[in-house]
């Protein structure tokens, strides 16, 4: 099974979400051995995926934290003071 660069990019992308068949993995590996551009594309896809996963897991953690009530009140007071200064 010989794959074009377009097919390899599709398979590499798919491999991030599902296990490729043995035949698909071999075809991709053979192509990547011969094609430097697809090697770079595969590395970039994997890097983007790992970065996105890392970012999303830290973003989820930060989203779950709530601001303490005391801090919330200080911010509201500061905003009201700032708003009052603009209306003077």
Q: Is 86 or 22 the better-scoring residue by pLDDT?
A: 22
Domain count, the chain: 1
Q: Is 33 or 79 the better-scoring residue by pLDDT?
A: 33
| pLDDT tens profile 41-83 | 999 998 998 888 887 766 555 555 677 888 888 888 888 776 6
User: Is residue 33 predicted with pLDDT exceeding 70?
Assistant: yes
Q: Which two tokens stand for residue 73?
A: 């009140």
Distance (Å, whole) CA 16 – CA 37: 19
Cα angle, residue 69 at apex, residues 66 and 71 outer, rounded to 5°: 90
Quickly tell me which residue has 């005391």 as its tokens.
Answer: 70
Cα angle, residue 39 at apex, residues 36 and 45 outer, rounded to 5°: 145
| Cβ–Cβ < 8 Å for 38, 32 | yes
pLDDT value of position 60: 55
- Name the pTM for this structure: 0.59
* Domain coverage including residue 11: 5-87
């Amino acid at each position: 099974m010989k794959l074009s660069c377009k097919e390899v990019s599709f398979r590499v992308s798919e491999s991030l979400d599902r296990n490729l068949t043995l035949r698909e993995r071999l075809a991709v590996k053979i192509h990547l051995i011969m094609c430097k551009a697809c090697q770079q594309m595969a590395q970039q896809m994997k890097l983007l995926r790992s970065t996105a996963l890392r970012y999303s897991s830290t973003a989820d953690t930060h989203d779950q934290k709530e601001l303490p009530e005391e801090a919330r009140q200080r911010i509201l007071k500061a905003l009201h003071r700032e708003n009052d200064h603009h209306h003077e």
